[in-house]
Chains A and B, each alone.
Chain A
Amino acid sequence: MNIEPSDIQSSDTRDVVLDLISEVTKSGEDMEEKETRGDKTTDLKLYIVDSSEDLQGRFSEAGLDVAEDENTKKAARDFFQHVVIKEESVNEDITFLKVTTPRYERTDEAIVIDSGDALWFLTTELKEWLEDTIEKVIKYLPQLERVYLPSEDLEDSMRGIVDSEIAGFTAEYHSQHKDRDATLQFHGAEKGDLATAEDAFSATPTRIEFNQKNSPTTAIQGSGSNDGFAKLESVRKGSEGKAADTLLNISERFVEQDTEQFKVNADTGWKLLEPGFVVDEFTSIELHSPEREEADFLDEELEDEVLSKNRYQYGRWGEDTFFVYDKEHEEVFELGIESTELVLHARESTTALSLRSFCRTILDTFDSTYSVRKEETRVKAQ
């Protein structure tokens, strides 16, 4: 990145975003020429991350904790054993993160901002490199998890961007009952193309590209992905402010949707009362309305495809209920099977981390045709 910590010493969040946008700003002519996307030009990336602990200023230490933890999976331990993490504090909410891989003599940088409701990792490094550095820091630190939007929420968020239209998308389909694992990539999309993909192939969007006008011409090109990732590919000179607002709005919307869908607001603990005891509140997440109408072996499929993953241990209660321990997030939740549908119930230790991660695994790798709905029972006096 072209920015040094000293450049942003007295900046607020929006200033930092504007500084980074300057790296992707193009003249009017360049914008006209850039008809197709996906060239290896610089773009600004934003990872939107939920964190269960305040890690700013402690990334290096948290990484070494993982490296030394025998119980953590090997890939995570190896990663933190082979990279060097340095962090420089810019101000109270902003730090500069550098991840160096000595073997390749490479250092990738990201600006980490505590935006209040989420942690942002902003960077203009190349995606291929980020996948081996910054993305792995986020993936392998158990305190962090990228926000996640089921397809419908992603579509809502992206359609909510003012003056914009959908310019392309990636839509996916996978399901246990059909031997088909499909990914549709669509560039130069026109109105209705996404609906066609959904209707014709039951494929649901995981990434949506948008073109945003700043009257009268296209001024901003960007995209958002369901794994808490947004990108500004190019911004026309003069539209930097609008682009910054767009990125900030996308993040706000993503966090809002993610919270709406996965946060456990209910107090699911046991209460002791003088005569008897009780649990007052409940949070459940339903994975409902899959494409298939029958799933006679759903329990076995889940055991084979999802619960057998290293991160999970589980036990069964009767025919249709699993109790699941997410070792990585150190949480237990309950999973009920209702014909073709799945219901997750929060237990005392459950937070959004394990619920989101399970739903994400289901939608990304098991059956992308589920829809997600949260049901909460709150009984507190208002």
Chain B
Amino acid sequence: MSGGKTWPRQKREIDAYNAFLSAYPARNSDQGFLDEGYRLTNFFPTINNSFTETAVEPDFSLYDGETLILSEVKQGNNIEPRDVEQAKRLDSVSIDAAEEYIDKIDVQGRFGLSGDVLSIEPLLYYDNLDSDYVEKCRNEWENCREQLVELEEYCPVLGREGDQTLQLLAGELDSDHLQDWLETGVEMAETPRVTVTMTDGLEIESIAVSICRVWGERAVSEPVTVGVSELRTHFNYRDLEPGRVKSAFDLLNDLGACNRTQKREVEFTPGHMPKILNIEQLISDRSGDSNQEDLDEFF
């Protein structure tokens, strides 16, 4: 890891997640996923799938009692070869695998939904992709066209049209209803609620920020402690190595946002609150002028 330099990129990834989620209970529209009957069942689920060698790991899953939407969220607008690979994997999830997954997450108790899965709709959302770009990609840039054509074969592509409309820009959904609805689009929030603060790659800065958002914020009246094991349980969706958690603890400690009480534990007190709340800025400041970093070096 490169000492905080990657935070601006992590933040863009997190912003993309939260932008997408702002189309779920869409405050500015009565056409959000929730209004359409979908429930956000999980952040970062793991779906064991017999058609792929390893588990399939979308960013979010949504379910309405019949259809399971598996969505992958990307910052920027650049269609990468690995996106095509991801789309292919999402598209390969079988009904059996989907039902097995749905069984684990108590959709009956939480939402009163049956555990049946009749269809699966994978989709990719790019936070900075619009119809102009898709048109140029398709008609003018040959490399881009190749990726796009391959991608849309597996998975419909959504982007941000205008300032803040989540819209279908390429490819097709199996369901005509979903197709019509996403062609019309969903108004997202101008300033999305900060719901997710973790990156898919579980980078140290994003772990540190997430620790503040969940445990730090609980220290409103009394000290709150959190240890490595509890964190690994909370973020059990990906293999969170103990060493990374400890690095995140070190980072928070360096920034004065907690006390390091034991080797594998930190303590937040109400006195830490100004730093806990300002952790994003503190980490941004630390990463200095990394805005100029080259995006591509990370892919």
Contacts and interface: CB of A to CB of B under 8 A. Distances in A.
Interface of A: 270, 272-280, 282, 284, 286, 313-318, 320-321, 323-325, 327, 330-332, 334, 336-339, 343, 345, 347-349, 375, 377, 379-382
Contacts, number: 134
Nearest to A345: B193
Interface stretch (B152-160, B216-224, B287-295): B216-224
Nearest to A375: B27
Contacts of A348: 214, 217-218
A315 B274 contact: yes
Given A282-B193, A345-B193, A318 B11 contact: yes
B280 interface: yes
Given A275-B104, A277-B235, A325 B44 contact: no
Contact of A382 (B112, B235, B270): B112
B231 to A, nearest CB: 11
Interface in B2-19: 11, 15
Contacts of A380: 110-112
B42 A282 contact: no
B178 interface: no
Main SS of the interface on chain B?
mixed
Given A282-B193, A315-B274, A349-B220, A276 B46 contact: yes
A313 B274 CA distance: 6
B22 to A, nearest CB: 10
A92 B46 CA distance: 54
Contacts of A278: 40-43
B149 interface: no
A379 B110 CA distance: 7
Contact of B189 (A273, A323, A325, A338): A338
A381 B113 CA distance: 8
B237 interface: yes
B118 interface: no
A331 B233 CA distance: 26
B191 A377 contact: no
Contacts of A332: 217, 220, 273, 277
A339 B40 CA distance: 28
Contacts of A280: 40, 110
B78 interface: no
Interface string B184-210: 000001111111000000000000000
A317 B235 contact: no
A336 B190 CA distance: 9
A305 to B, nearest CB: 19
Contact of B190 (A314, A318, A338): A338
B139 interface: no
B168 interface: no
B104 A274 contact: yes
A330 B273 CA distance: 11
A70 to B, nearest CB: 12
Contact of A273 (B104, B193, B217): B104
B275 A315 contact: yes
B110 A272 contact: no
A173 B192 CA distance: 30
A305 B46 CA distance: 46
Contacts of B44: 276-277
A309 B217 CA distance: 20
B297 to A, nearest CB: 23
Contacts of B113: 381
B234 A284 contact: no
Nearest to A339: B190
A347 B217 contact: yes
Contacts of A330: 220-221, 270
A284 B191 contact: no
Contacts of B109: 381
Contacts of B11: 318
A170 B275 CA distance: 42
Contact of B281 (A274, A316, A331): A316
Given A315-B281, A323-B194, 15 more contacts: A273-B106, A274-B236, A276-B42, A277-B43, A277-B236, A278-B43, A280-B110, A284-B193, A314-B277, A324-B277, A343-B189, A347-B217, A377-B25, A379-B34, A381-B110
